[in-house]
Amino acid sequence: IAIAPSQLQQGQIALTKEQQHYLTRVLRLREGDRFIAMDGKGKWWLTQLAGEQGQVLEPLVVETELPVAVTLLIALPKGNGFDEVVRCCTELGVTTIAPVLSDRTLLQPSPQKLERWRRIAAEAAEQSERAFVPTILEPVAFSSSLKLTSSQKYICEARGNFPHLKDCLPQPIDKEIIIATGPEGGWTQLEVDNAIASGFQAVSLGRRILRAVTAPIVALSLVSAACEV
Ligand code: SAM
């Protein structure tokens, strides 16, 4: 289960009502049974159920993170498509997701959506046994996200004769990578030009046109494949 840092004091985790319900009703754990608690910031503990508390038995070493910090700048798709993007990219090991508003993005999402994406990321990180819960940033204009710095920055562009992302990733992989994927209607030419002027390399994800929700998942899969040993 994921816990807030304030729940842990002197080796005891004060379980919330929801956590107690999940452990005893959903997982059907009994007194003395063991479970894993994580803080989403790199710490995991083997824990024993003790009434309304979790008794920490020992810290665990978790090595499920990618060796590269990947930031995805993702133009917000319509509807609830971003939920699935957050879930899948968390499973694949993303570090930071920046939802971006592009020239062809229709709506500014409500603050409730941001909370919802953060919750989805926490749940997905837990199920994928990740050490860290990815950071979901507040939505920003694509133009302001261009100033993010990294030695490797890519903008995925569906049209044009650009090299494939898999052929552009450095080997060994760098410590940080930023990848931008566009909205349903694609990036405008000005957005692509501005990105290139800000140090982004335009890349292809293959010959087929992927949906806006598929493209970031494919891009991250390629990075993950380039890192796994
Ligand atoms: N109608 C748009 C066009 O013709 O450019 C297609 C946009 S696509 C549905 C949404 C985004 O996914 C694109 O802006 C791009 O970032 C990414 N994408 C989709 N397929 C891609 C591909 N084959 N190569 C690179 N990027 C791709």
In this structure, the answer to whether residues 82 and 134 fall within a common structural domain is yes
User: In the structure, what pLDDT confidence band is assigned to residue 79 with cuts at 50, 70 and 90?
Assistant: confident
Quick one: what percent of the chain has pLDDT higher than 90? 79
Test site for ligand 1: of 106, 156, 166, most ligand atoms within 8 A of the Cβ: 156
Q: Has residue 78 got a pLDDT over 90?
A: no
- CB within 6 Å of ligand 1 — which residues? 156-159, 181-182, 184-187, 204-206, 208-212, 215
In this structure, the answer to whether residues 24 and 115 fall within a common structural domain is no
State the distance from the centre of ligand 1 to the C-alpha of 29, rounded, in angstroms. Answer: 47
Q: Cα–Cα distance between 84 and 27 in angstroms, integer?
A: 25
Q: What pLDDT digit, counting tens, does each position of 80-138 carry?
A: 889 999 999 999 999 999 999 999 986 788 889 999 999 999 999 988 999 999 999 99
Are 156 and 219 contacting, i.e. CB atoms less than 8 angstroms apart?
yes
State the distance from the centre of ligand 1 to the C-alpha of 182, rounded, in angstroms. Answer: 6
By mean pLDDT, which of 65-69, 107-111, 157-161, 204-208 is the weakest? 107-111
Report the mean per-residue pLDDT for the chain: 93
Q: Which amino acid residue places its CA nearest to atom 27 of ligand 1?
A: 158
The angle subtended at Cα 132 by Cα 129 and Cα 136, nearest 5°, is 120
State the distance from the centre of ligand 1 to the C-alpha of 61, rounded, in angstroms. Answer: 39
Q: Cα–Cα distance between 196 and 188 in angstroms, integer?
A: 13
Residue 229: what pLDDT?
A: 55
Q: Give the chain's domain count.
A: 2
Q: Which amino acid residue places its CA nearest to atom 11 of ligand 1?
A: 182
Q: Which amino acid residue places its CA nearest to atom 19 of ligand 1?
A: 210
pTM here is: 0.88
Q: What pLDDT digit, counting tens, does each position of 163-202 carry?
A: 999 999 998 888 999 999 999 999 999 999 999 999 999 9
Are 103 and 141 contacting, i.e. CB atoms less than 8 angstroms apart?
no
What mean pLDDT is predicted for residues 192-215?
A: 96
In this structure, the answer to whether residues 215 and 134 fall within a common structural domain is yes
Phi and psi, residue 35, nearest 5°: -145, 170
Last residue of a domain, one of 60, 78, 101: 60
In this structure, the answer to whether residues 133 and 222 fall within a common structural domain is yes
Residue 148: what pLDDT?
A: 86
Q: Which amino acid residue places its CA nearest to atom 18 of ligand 1?
A: 158
**Looking at residue 194, which CATH number applies to its domain?**
3.40.1280.10
Strands 12-14 and 34-38: unpaired
In this structure, the answer to whether residues 170 and 112 fall within a common structural domain is yes
Beta carbons within 10 angstroms of residue 131's beta carbon: 18
- For the question of an ipTM over 0.95, the answer is yes
In this structure, the answer to whether residues 24 and 125 fall within a common structural domain is no
Q: Has residue 56 got a pLDDT over 60?
A: yes
In this structure, the answer to whether residues 34 and 108 fall within a common structural domain is no
What mean pLDDT is predicted for residues 56-60?
A: 94
Question: What's the burial of 195, exposed, middle or buried (CB within 10 Å: 0-12/13-18/19+)?
Answer: buried
**Looking at residue 43, which CATH number applies to its domain?**
2.40.240.20
In this structure, the answer to whether residues 212 and 146 fall within a common structural domain is yes
In this structure, the answer to whether residues 41 and 117 fall within a common structural domain is no
Cα 213 to chain centroid distance, Å, stands at: 13
User: In the structure, what pLDDT confidence band is assigned to residue 151 with cuts at 50, 70 and 90?
Assistant: confident
- Name beta bridge partners: 100: 75, 140
Between 217 and 172, the more confident residue is 217
Test site for ligand 1: of 167, 178, 181, most ligand atoms within 8 A of the Cβ: 181
The ligand 1 atom nearest the CA atom of 209: 20
Last residue of a domain, one of 13, 28, 60: 60
In this structure, the answer to whether residues 83 and 146 fall within a common structural domain is yes
In this structure, the answer to whether residues 41 and 148 fall within a common structural domain is no
Q: Which domain holds residue 37?
A: 5-60
In this structure, the answer to whether residues 93 and 137 fall within a common structural domain is yes
